[in-house]
Amino acid sequence: MKGGLTRRTVVASGLLALLVGAAFASLLFTVAELREVERRARQSQEVLVLANRLERLIVDAETGLRGFVITGQSDFLEPWQAAQAAFPPQAATLEQLVADNPDQQARAERIMRAAASYHEDYAVPLVESARRDPASVRTVAATEAGKRRLDAIRVEFDRFVATEDDLAAARQAQSDAVTNRAVIAAAGGSAGSVLLIVLFAAYLNRAIVRPVRLAASMACRLADGDLGVRLPESGRGEIGVLERSFNTMAASLQESREQLTRSRARIVAAADQARRHIERDLHDGTQQRLVSLVLNLRAAEAALPAEPAEPRRQLAEIADELASATDDLRVLSRGIHPAILTDGGLQPALTALARRSAVPVELTVDVPARLPEPVEVAAYYVVSEALTNVAKHARASLAHVELRVSAEGLHLSVRDDGVGGASPGPGSGLIGLIDRVEAMGGTLSLTSSTGQGTALVADLPVDDRDSC
């Protein structure tokens, strides 16, 4: 059982599971990578939005501060104050978002420092000066200082945003590449899984299904009597064991049937031989002695004087009874085994049988030469039993008996125009005929529909070799 079918199936199943698992693991890894890339892309989008918002706050603060300096109205300080309150937490959020990118984090820190310097070193002092002396802050120098600081901050924002745009584009490209890999991995995994499943199914079909179906078909043929059927011993493992076991079983059954057939043939031949011996013993012994006694009695009868008549009458009656007993014995011995069959063959034996039949018989015998003795004896008894059944049960007006020899053997048929309905049941005599014919390797079939007569057909192989 080394390398058996179970081991092969387990190995193939494990390999299939491993490859399918690897394909799906690759797919899951790709999906996870895609989700990470998408997360980074969303993060870049959030960074860009937040950077634009912070830049907008600084611009709004500068606009409000300039309006306050020019007009002196406190209402213009509201955007500046709102920007002062909103800028620090949003700036901290921006730094957290870019914490995984050192370059962007450095740019964000420079922006935060520039914004803080703008607020602490320029905006707050400017507001205080405008409140003390409005005319002093309306100079070109003050305005230009604010503009330079704001432009510097916006340049940093532009660099930051440009870098983040490049990162976003790169991440989008990476996302597209990962998506393509995911699609390819899914398609490849599915195609590979389908291919492996098909290959595994083909392997199971070749290694298991087809041999088992062939074994089932051969088993049906074996059950139908074809004991010569064999399986090709090409399987591996348990299938090979099954094929060899099947062939061993079939060979054993075939040998048993051949032994049984030979045994039945020997039994039938021994019974026929015993019949011949009994018939010969009766004919040469008892029958001849009875004939001699009849002749002696006839001689004694003739030697007696005419008077008195009573002794002569008694001797005549005894001689007649002995003669009748002799005739009965002759008929009995002929029924045991007809001597005419041994001496003359089938043609004269069947002709005599037809003449003695109670039902008229049309006889056709196409047997150009003597057949082996077992075949002739079997054919004779088949015809004899069939004609006996016709006379007893068929209520027929005519019987047809046909025998012919061909390359296949002796074909024999007995047909009548009687009532039909015969069956090879117990007590019919046909069971013994079936045993006799099958013991010689032949076949016997009966067709007997009610009201359509009966046909008994036997086929016997003709072999010149001694069946015993």
- List helix spans (H) across 72-139: 77-97, 102-117, 124-132
The span from the CA of 20 to the CA of 190, in Å, is 9
CA atoms lying within 13 Å on the CB side of residue 465: 6
pLDDT score, position 441 = 84
- In 10 A of CB 120, how many CB atoms? 10
Q: Is the pLDDT of residue 334 over 60?
A: no
Q: pLDDT (tens digit, 9 = 90+) per residue, 100-135?
A: 888 888 888 888 888 888 788 888 888 888 777 777
DSSP letters spanning 346-391: HHHHHHHHHHH-SS-EEEEEE--SPPPHHHHHHHHHHHHHHHHHII
Question: Mean pLDDT across the stretch 205-229?
Answer: 84
Lowest mean pLDDT among 208-217, 222-231, 332-341, 372-381: 332-341
The span from the CA of 26 to the CA of 181, in Å, is 10
Q: pLDDT (tens digit, 9 = 90+) per residue, 428-445?
A: 677 878 888 888 888 999
Q: Is the pLDDT of residue 228 over 80?
A: yes
pLDDT band of residue 308 (cuts 50, 70, 90) is confident
Question: Structure tokens of 387?
Answer: 């004609």
- In 10 A of CB 180, how many CB atoms? 11
Pick the CATH number of 344-468 from 3.90.1170.50, 3.30.565.10, 3.50.50.60, 3.40.50.300: 3.30.565.10
The span from the CA of 167 to the CA of 103, in Å, is 11
What percent of the residues of the chain are helix, what percent strand, and what percent coil, each to the nearest 5?
Answer: 75, 5, 15
pLDDT score, position 21 = 81
pLDDT score, position 405 = 93
pLDDT band of residue 427 (cuts 50, 70, 90) is low
Which residues, in sequence order, are CB contacts of 211 under 8 Å at separation 6+? 231, 235, 239, 242, 243
Going by the DSSP 8-state scheme, the letter that residue 413 receives in this structure is: E
Q: Is the pLDDT of residue 331 over 70?
A: no
pLDDT score, position 414 = 95
**446 SS3 class:** strand
Residue 172 CA: distances (Å) to CA of 28, 45, 160, 181, 303: 20, 11, 18, 14, 148
Q: Is the pLDDT of residue 5 over 80?
A: no
Going by the DSSP 8-state scheme, the letter that residue 467 receives in this structure is: -
The span from the CA of 42 to the CA of 383, in Å, is 104
The partner residues of 365 in beta bridges, in order of sequence, read 403
Q: Is the pLDDT of residue 229 over 90?
A: no
Question: Mean pLDDT across the stretch 172-192?
Answer: 79
DSSP letters spanning 105-122: HHHHHHHHHHHHHIIIII
Higher pLDDT, 225 or 426: 225
pLDDT score, position 4 = 66
Against a cut of 0.75, is the pTM above it? no
DSSP letters spanning 155-166: HHHHHHHHHHHH
